Amino acid sequence: MIFTQDIPVGQLADLDVHEGDTLHIVAVGDFAVTVQVSRSEAMLPPSCNASEWVQTAKGSVQINAGETAKDARMAYHATKYGATK
């Protein structure tokens, strides 16, 4: 069974939870509940921009010789949205 329950923000403020985090109840005691917070880390390092990531994403994006990251991005969008140049 899956259910959703609203919890006042003040109750979770010390956990520094963010949208997308998963909370897992580890233990329930008389006076406290032990919660494990799972957060997936960002795929891009903070110092990396999208074009740098495309250049280093080995195997996930194929860029032909003489093609730029912008060319690959535009080709993807053209295919996805049916756009032409």
**pLDDT tens per residue, range 62-81:** 777 888 888 888 887 888 78
Counting residues of the chain whose pLDDT is more than 70, the rounded percentage is 73
Q: How far apart are CA 70 and CA 63, in angstroms?
A: 10
The lowest-confidence range among 27-36, 41-50, 54-63, 65-74 is 41-50
The lowest-confidence range among 13-17, 30-34, 51-55 is 51-55
Query: Burial level of 50, CB count in 10 A (0-12/13-18/19+)?
Result: exposed
Confidence of residue 27 (pLDDT cuts 50, 70, 90): very high
pTM confidence score:
0.42
- Residue 51 CB-half CA count within 13 A: 6
Return the sign of the alpha-carbon dihedral for residues 7, 9, 13, 19: positive
